[in-house]
Structure 1
Amino acid sequence: MPPAPGTVGSAAEAAGLDTKPTAPAGPVKTRETASDGYHRALAAHREAVPPPLMDPATAEATQRQTKAMRELSRRAFPEPKADPDDAPAPIKAVQAQHRRQAAATEAAALRRARAERAAQQAGTTPVVARTPLLRTTA
């Protein structure tokens, strides 16, 4: 059945009961203040816990197998040698290199434009020397 209409606690208030939560009357029971029977039952339970299911010989074999597999993995996939030239370059060095490349490209473009303009003024076909690639991309 669905709950009856009304506000929460209205039935308790109608009956004249106090609906405010109350504090515990005495100290809260913890394991330290528990009875002697509780402590005896806890000790009996701890004694009755079964030993680990894994045989020590099996555990040792598992450790040997894990060690052998790690060694095989190291041989199959060796760590790459640290190459000092492969270290990341500082940002300023990279920016300077990009500026040099941009300046070289601009100089080549200016040389070609001047050669084409000179050939056009002379009325001949421009002969521009093929310069090697200044920058290649992947």
Structure 2
Amino acid sequence: MRFKNNTLPVKSIRQNHTPNGEQIRMMETFTQMVNDCIKIGLENNCSTLKRLSKLAYRKLQSYDIMSYYKLNAISQAAGILQNRKQSIKRGIKTKSPFVRKLFLVNCYNFKINGCLLSIPYKLRQSIHILLNEYTQKILSDPA
């Protein structure tokens, strides 16, 4: 059996960032989508990704955001519901599964243009985050 080596190196770095108004609205939208998916999952007693996707995806069409954010919101909600289900099964008292803190999950189409990180938001519209010197240095290092 032969394997092709198609692996790409991955770098990870943390940078503190204070979001602006547009970025906050994007995180609010994502958090609301996750909460809508959790509500749908609770109403239908559903915690699997496949079933939650079938139930929730059409209801997320009203959000004006790229479709992969909708898929990520469904995935986050399925994870939260699955963890809640496991806790209940083990006899652990659970809190409300709804998300209160703003957050955003994305793993697609990031672009680094010099000192700017571009994150797609809507069709042909991106949010830009200024990268500090240390982050730029780590990301530009070929090692």
TM-score, normalised relative to structure 1: 0.25
Q: Which has the higher strand share?
A: 2
Structure with the bigger percentage of helix: 1
**RCO higher in structure (CA 8 A, sep ≥6):** 2
- Structure with greater Cα Rg: 1
